[in-house]
């Protein structure tokens, strides 16, 4: 250190600028965290500087800049006072600010879930032991050759602290977030971020930090004031380039660049150039800063993939960019300015060794001590305190904004909007609270209106249910009354058509056959109406028993075969030789098959084909398929075709007749069995209908030799119990 008073004024001014960086960190972290933790973050930033400053004065300065013992640690006078020479006091004050900066880096990374008391212990650990010891290795020689540490003796260069300050803080921040884990909900499905409190404040924090960095880097020239302008220019260029690169990288990753990426890109550029601001040219400084800005974005994405939760991006900014900046000294620096006697390759090796030494010592010691502390005193707050926020949980501190947020959250969680929130006069949230109360008033009005509407709807529902019951009773009665005479008409017309009472004119035979066919059609319609009325009234009771599906399908195939032959079309049955029994109502299953096959035959032209298929699917669901090569229909008309008493008009189905109840009855019967019906169709391309019964309705049966696929007990069925 020089005795030049002008140099002393410059260094003391720079120390003041570095102190201002504490304000920058405070504003940045408050802006990046949620409002319910903002007071806690602010207090931690103030407290960690008090701890760092006091402990560094108490014995940290002695450890870092005292005469070296084996080039590992300094041993000097503790609690230095005004009796020291002025140049040493100036140097002490300047280095005290650096210790505070390294310490406060951790606060942002662990924000929103580390307890206040636990953070005090972490701050003490960093400022009292880790920072001074590693600082002695790299910077001890600044106080004189007798204080030189082993890294500096090898030629390690770190002009203003990319590694000594920023990487040390970054390594301990990484150790801390790994020990305490992510914030609750941070990596839940669908969660990209937990949100920021105030990005405007975070932007102001970055500008304050940038301003303070002029003292951080500029003051590090110490007495060599002629080199300060070049260092300051390099610092400004790296910050600009880092911000632009971070903004561009964010634009490539997202449709809209993230503000926090841009801000952290600036900081990444500043951190990266800090190690080499004295040794590189302006162009190299800009390139180093730009790469630092991109590394911050990439590092943040890497941590997210690894589910490492850094609340403000402190680890990518200070650790990743710090490592890059330390290595960049050898890659882009002027070898003639190194003053180490090393070539570029040798210098790169020493720089890499310094990075490894810092990581091994800082992360290793930090992680081990934090794990030990966490076993003795939990570093993390409990879930309820995290939900409330550390402002209230740790400090009992509140604000009109937090009070308003708490009342609004109470409304949301309880689902009660029967009282307005408190309006704090002359506060910054008075307008918000008043407007919210207007919304509450409107909600209460709407709730009352909806309650009246629900009451009216309830009355209408009762009336509708009574009407449906009466309709169902009428349909059932009418159906029963019609079936007896219809059976008589069918029977007598059949006798007449068969000329059971003697020969009659052929015209009368045709008319009698027409009467017989019409009677059968009308009886089928009456039966459908009766079944539909019972289903609609909820009186259709399933008689569930193990059903031999193969036997039922063979019977339906035999029953429908004459109808298919009459229409000159093929009707095939395809199923394995063994099917497990189905727990179902046999009559309902038969009705489903008859309706589906009957429709398929009716809508399939001569020469085409209808296929009936049954199979056991891998998940033990029984599937029945009826596929035809008929007229098909527009898929958009399927919902309409499922409505009762509906016939598609004007389309391909015109002229085929029917009750309009077939598909709706099938759908209802399938649903009664907890099954599903899928219809695949297209005009002119036929229709395929899949009926699937749930796996729990499939009854296991022993495998039979040579019986198609084995149906022995499977893990799936075993899991169903």
Helix 116-125, helix 86-109: angle, nearest 10: 140
Reported as type and span, the H/E element at residue 338 is helix 335-338
Q: How far apart are CA 139 and CA 148, in angstroms?
A: 7
| pLDDT tens readout for residues 602-617 | 888 998 999 999 999 8
Query: Per-residue confidence at 719, pLDDT binned at 50, 70, 90?
Result: very low
Query: Per-residue confidence at 709, pLDDT binned at 50, 70, 90?
Result: very low
Query: Per-residue confidence at 653, pLDDT binned at 50, 70, 90?
Result: very low
| Burial class (CB within 10 angstroms; exposed 0-12, middle 13-18, buried 19+) of 347 | buried
Query: Which range is least confidently modeled, 248-252, 511-515, 539-543?
Result: 511-515
State residue 650's pLDDT score: 41
Among candidates 364, 266, 316, 366, which has minimal Cα distance to 109? 316
Q: Is the pLDDT of residue 712 over 80?
A: no
Among candidates 151, 155, 175, which has minimal Cα distance to 164? 151
Q: Is the pLDDT of residue 693 over 90?
A: yes
Query: Per-residue confidence at 266, pLDDT binned at 50, 70, 90?
Result: very high
Q: How far apart are CA 503 and CA 81, in angstroms?
A: 138
Q: How far apart are CA 507 and CA 463, in angstroms?
A: 53
| Burial class (CB within 10 angstroms; exposed 0-12, middle 13-18, buried 19+) of 459 | exposed
- CB neighbour burial string for 696-705, b if at least 16 within 10 angstroms, e if fewer: ebbeeeeeee
35 DSSP assignment:
G
Query: Which range is least confidently modeled, 278-282, 415-419, 697-701?
Result: 415-419
The DSSP-derived string for 40-71 is: HHHHHHHHHHHHHHHHIIIIIHHHHHSPEETT
Query: Per-residue confidence at 703, pLDDT binned at 50, 70, 90?
Result: very low
Average pLDDT, the chain: 85
- Name the residue ranges covered by the structural domains of the chain: 8-74+83-393, 455-536, 544-720
Among candidates 20, 37, 61, which has minimal Cα distance to 114? 37
Reported as type and span, the H/E element at residue 516 is helix 506-536
| pLDDT tens readout for residues 301-356 | 999 999 999 999 999 999 999 999 999 999 999 999 999 999 999 999 999 999 99
Stretch 123-151: mean pLDDT, rounded? 95
CATH code of 544-720, in short, is: 3.30.565.10
| pLDDT tens readout for residues 544-593 | 899 998 988 998 898 888 888 888 999 999 998 888 999 998 888 888 89
Q: Is the pLDDT of residue 660 over 80?
A: no
Stretch 636-665: mean pLDDT, rounded? 63
Stretch 467-493: mean pLDDT, rounded? 61
State residue 138's pLDDT score: 97
CATH code of 455-536, in short, is: 1.10.287.130
Q: How far apart are CA 90 and CA 92, in angstroms?
A: 5
Q: Is the pLDDT of residue 274 over 90?
A: yes
State residue 328's pLDDT score: 98
Q: Which residue has the tokens 């010891």?
A: 133
Query: Per-residue confidence at 15, pLDDT binned at 50, 70, 90?
Result: very high
How much of the chain exceeds pLDDT 90, in percent? Answer: 53
Stretch 655-669: mean pLDDT, rounded? 68
Query: Which range is least confidently modeled, 131-145, 315-329, 378-392, 400-414?
Result: 400-414
Q: State the CATH class of domain 8-74+83-393.
A: mainly alpha
Stretch 185-189: mean pLDDT, rounded? 84
Query: Which range is least confidently modeled, 45-54, 156-165, 377-386, 399-408?
Result: 399-408
Inter-residue long-range contacts of 59-63, CB under 8 Å, 24+ positions, other chains counted: 59/128, 60/99, 60/127, 60/128, 60/131, 60/132, 61/92, 61/95, 61/96, 61/132, 63/129, 63/132, 63/133, 63/136
What would the two tokens of residue 327 be? 């290595």
Q: Is 599 helix (H, G, I), strand (E, B) or coil?
A: helix
| pLDDT tens readout for residues 526-543 | 666 666 666 555 556 778
The answer for residues whose C-beta is within 8 angstroms of residue 590's C-beta and 6 or more apart is 552, 555, 556
Measured CA to CA in angstroms, residue 717 lies from 40, 303, 616, 618 at distances of 55, 43, 13, 11
Q: How far apart are CA 597 and CA 448, in angstroms?
A: 53
524 or 375, which is more confident: 375
Q: Is the pLDDT of residue 639 over 60?
A: yes
Stretch 479-507: mean pLDDT, rounded? 65
Q: How many beta carbons lie within 10 A of that of residue 592, not counting itself?
A: 28
């Amino acid at each position: 250190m020089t005795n030049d008073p002008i140099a002393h004024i410059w260094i003391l001014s720079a120390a003041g600028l570095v102190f201002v960086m504490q304000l920058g960190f405070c504003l940045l972290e408050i802006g990046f965290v949620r409002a319910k933790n903002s007071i806690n973050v602010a207090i931690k930033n103030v407290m960690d500087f008090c701890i760092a400053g006091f402990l560094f004065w108490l014995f940290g300065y002695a450890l870092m800049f005292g005469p070296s013992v084996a080039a590992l640690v300094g041993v000097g006078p503790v609690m230095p006072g005004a009796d020291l020479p002025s140049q040493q006091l100036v140097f002490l004050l300047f280095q005290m600010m650096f210790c505070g900066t390294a310490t406060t880096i951790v606060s942002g990374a662990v924000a929103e879930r580390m307890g206040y008391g636990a953070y005090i212990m972490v701050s003490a650990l960093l400022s009292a032991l880790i920072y001074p010891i590693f600082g002695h290795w790299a910077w001890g020689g600044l106080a004189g050759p007798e204080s030189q540490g082993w890294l500096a003796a090898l030629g390690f260069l770190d002009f203003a602290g990319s590694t000594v300050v920023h990487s040390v803080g970054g390594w301990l921040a990484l150790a801390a977030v790994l020990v305490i884990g992510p914030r609750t909900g941070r990596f839940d499905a669908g969660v990209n971020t937990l949100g920021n409190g105030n990005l405007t404040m975070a932007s102001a924090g970055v500008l304050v930090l940038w301003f303070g960095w002029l003292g951080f880097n500029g003051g590090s020239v110490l007495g060599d004031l002629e080199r300060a302008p070049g260092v300051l220019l390099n610092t400004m260029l790296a910050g600009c380039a880092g911000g632009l690169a971070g903004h561009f990288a964010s634009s490539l990753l997202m449709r809209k660049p993230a503000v926090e990426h841009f801000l952290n890109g600036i900081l990444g550029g500043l951190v990266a150039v800090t190690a080499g601001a004295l040794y590189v040219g302006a162009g190299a400084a800009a390139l180093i800063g730009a790469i630092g800005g991109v590394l911050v974005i990439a590092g943040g994405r890497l941590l997210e993939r690894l589910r490492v939760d850094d609340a403000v991006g402190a680890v990518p900014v200070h650790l990743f960019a710090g490592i890059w900046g330390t290595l960049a000294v050898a890659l882009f620096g002027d070898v003639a300015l190194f003053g180490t006697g090393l070539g570029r390759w040798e210098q790169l090796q020493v720089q890499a060794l310094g990075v490894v030494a810092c990581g091994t010592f800082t992360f290793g010691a930090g992680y081990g001590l934090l794990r030990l502390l966490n076993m003795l005193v939990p570093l993390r707050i409990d879930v309820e305190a995290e939900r409330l926020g550390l402002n209230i949980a740790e400090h009992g501190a509140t604000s009109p904004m937090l009070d308003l947020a708490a009342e609004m959250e109470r409304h949301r969680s309880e689902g009660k909007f029967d009282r307005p929130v408190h309006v704090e006069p002359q506060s910054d949230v008075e307008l918000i609270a008043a407007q919210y109360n207007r919304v509450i008033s409107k909600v209460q009005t709407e709730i009352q209106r909806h309650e009246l509407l629900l009451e009216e709807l309830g009355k209408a529902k009762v009336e509708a249910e009574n009407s449906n019951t009466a309709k169902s009773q009428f349909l059932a009665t009418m159906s029963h009354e019609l079936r007896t005479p219809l059976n008589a008409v069918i029977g007598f017309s059949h006798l007449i058509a068969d000329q059971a009472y003697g020969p009659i004119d052929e015209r009368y035979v045709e008319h009698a056959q027409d009467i017989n066919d019409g009677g059968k059609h009308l009886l089928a319609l009456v039966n459908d109406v009766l079944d539909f009325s019972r289903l609609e009234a909820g009186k259709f009771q399933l008689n569930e028993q193990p059903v031999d599906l193969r036997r039922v399908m063979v019977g339906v195939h035999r029953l429908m075969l004459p109808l298919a032959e009459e229409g000159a079309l093929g009707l095939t049955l395809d199923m394995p030789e063994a099917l497990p029994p189905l727990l179902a109502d046999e009559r309902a299953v038969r009705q489903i098959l008859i309706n589906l096959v009957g429709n398929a035959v009716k809508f399939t032209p001569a020469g085409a084909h209808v296929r009936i298929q049954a199979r056991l699917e891998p998940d033990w669901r029984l599937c029945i398929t009826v596929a035809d090569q008929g007229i098909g229909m527009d898929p958009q008309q399927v919902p309409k075709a499922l409505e009762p008493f509906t016939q598609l008009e004007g389309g391909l189905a015109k002229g085929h007749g029917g009750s309009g109840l077939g598909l709706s009855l099938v759908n209802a019967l399938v649903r009664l069995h907890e099954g599903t019906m899928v219809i695949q169709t297209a005009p002119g391309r036929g229709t395929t209908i899949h009926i699937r019964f749930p796996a729990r309705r499939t009854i296991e049966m022993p495998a039979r030799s040579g019986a198609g696929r084995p149906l022995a007990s499977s893990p799936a069925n075993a899991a169903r119990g």
